[in-house]
Structure formats: structure tokens, C-alpha cells
């Protein structure tokens, strides 16, 4: 028998922690305070290619389903939203830098407007703890290790971490978002 998000939230008694990997190919993952899986959302976007834009409204609706704290206009100050602290990369073009900045700004703006507690974590910080003992010598190894760690820990995320045919993806916003949330949970203990 499965229980609803509302029932499980009541059972655990604390709001979940939401990890967000910003960007058009990012994701949002909510974990309960014990590190168990709550819910996941592929980053909602409208448009395609260089015209694709993150839709904050979709994230807002998802957050209110994950943490249905009435009334919907009350600040969610007890809800931690962990966002990867990012910056422009020298090899990125102007269009992709603007697009990534827009997506990241949408996530920060939404979390702020909802009154959530925004927690920034650098990639180096969460990767050091979440990927301890796993290969991390290159960007490719880091991303693959993150996917493998998330695949092993949360069976509920496996559909987002595999491609058709069952092969594990080489990188995933779902893995990064989940591991950032877990890093924050572990840090708060």
C-alpha cells in the first residue's frame, strides 16, 4: 500500500528539503528529513532550443503539492530549498550564459517569493560529501558518479536516471538535485 505525500509528510512531521539543479535540463527533487525520496520534477520549460525558458509557475505548483501548507500564500519559511551555487563558465557562449542565468534567476526568484529558506551549496562542497570514495577526477567522472550514487540510493529515481534500454545516463539533473538535498540534510544533523 502506498501513502500520499501529505500522509508521509504528516508521519515524518517535518517539511521536506528540496534540491534544485538550475537550468533548462535541471530538475527538482524533494527528500524527507530522513533522506528518503519524496518527489521529483523535471525542470518545466516552455519553448525549445535557445528560446526555451524555465517556467517558475510549474515549480511553484509542484512545491505546493510536495508541501501543501495552507494557505497557499503563507510564507514557506520552514522549507529549505537547496540551490547549486553556480557561475558563468569561460567556455560558454553569450546566449547559453544568458539562458542559464535566466533559469537560475527564475529558481531564486520563486524560492524568495514563496518565502522559502534558500541554501546555496557549491558543487565542490556537495560533491565532496555525496561522492566520497567515488571517481571524481574529471567532469565526466563526477557526473557519472553522481548518477550512480543516486541510482543506488533512491530506486524511485531510477526512471529518471536511465535511458531507453535501461542504460544508466552519464549525467542527470535529478541526481545532482537529490544529492544536494541529501548533503543539506546530513549537514543539518
Q: How high does pLDDT run on average in the chain?
A: 87
Q: For the chain, what are the domain ranges?
A: 5-130+171-188
pLDDT above 70 as % of the chain = 88
Per-residue confidence (pLDDT) for residue 181, from 0 to 100: 97
pLDDT value of residue 49: 81
Greater confidence, 188 or 71?
188
Does the pLDDT at position 69 exceed 80? Answer: no
pLDDT digits (tens, 9 = 90+) for 21-47: 998 889 999 999 999 999 999 999 999
**Mean pLDDT, residues 161-185:** 90
Who wins on pLDDT, 74 or 22? 22
pLDDT for the residue numbered 72: 67
Per-residue CA distances from 183 to 31, 34, 176, 177 (Å): 11, 12, 10, 10
Q: What would the mean pLDDT of 5-26 be, rounded to a whole number?
A: 76
**Mean pLDDT confidence for 164-173:** 84
Who wins on pLDDT, 37 or 171? 37
Q: What is the pLDDT of residue 111?
A: 96
* pLDDT for residue 11: 45
| Top-tier CATH class for 5-130+171-188 | alpha beta
More confident residue, 13 or 1: 13
Please, what's the b/e burial string for 22-41 (b: 16 or more CB within 10 A of its CB; e: otherwise)? Answer: bbbebbbbbbbbeeebbbbb
Could you read off the pLDDT of 81-128 as tens digits, one per residue? 999 987 666 676 776 777 778 889 999 999 999 999 999 999 999 999
Amino acid at each position: 500500500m502506498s501513502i500520499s505525500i501529505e500522509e508521509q509528510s504528516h508521519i515524518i512531521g517535518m517539511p521536506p528539503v528540496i534540491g534544485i539543479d538550475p537550468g533548462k535540463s535541471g530538475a527538482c527533487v524533494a527528500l524527507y528529513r530522513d533522506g528518503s525520496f519524496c518527489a521529483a520534477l523535471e525542470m518545466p520549460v516552455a519553448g525549445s532550443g535557445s528560446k526555451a525558458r524555465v517556467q517558475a509557475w510549474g515549480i511553484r505548483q509542484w512545491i505546493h503539492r510536495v508541501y501543501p501548507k495552507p494557505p497557499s500564500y503563507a510564507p514557506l519559511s520552514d522549507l529549505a530549498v537547496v540551490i547549486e551555487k553556480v557561475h558563468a563558465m569561460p567556455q560558454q557562449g553569450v546566449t547559453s550564459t544568458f539562458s542559464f542565468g535566466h533559469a537560475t534567476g527564475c529558481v531564486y526568484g520563486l524560492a524568495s517569493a514563496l518565502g522559502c529558506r534558500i541554501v546555496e551549496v557549491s558543487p565542490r562542497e556537495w560533491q565532496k560529501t555525496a561522492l566520497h570514495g567515488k571517481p571524481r577526477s574529471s567532469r565526466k567522472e563526477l557526473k557519472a558518479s553522481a548518477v550512480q550514487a543516486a541510482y543506488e540510493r533512491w530506486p524511485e529515481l531510477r526512471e529518471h536516471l536511465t535511458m531507453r534500454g535501461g542504460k544508466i545516463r552519464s549525467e542527470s539533473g535529478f541526481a545532482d538535485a537529490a544529492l544536494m538535498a541529501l548533503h543539506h540534510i546530513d549537514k543539518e544533523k
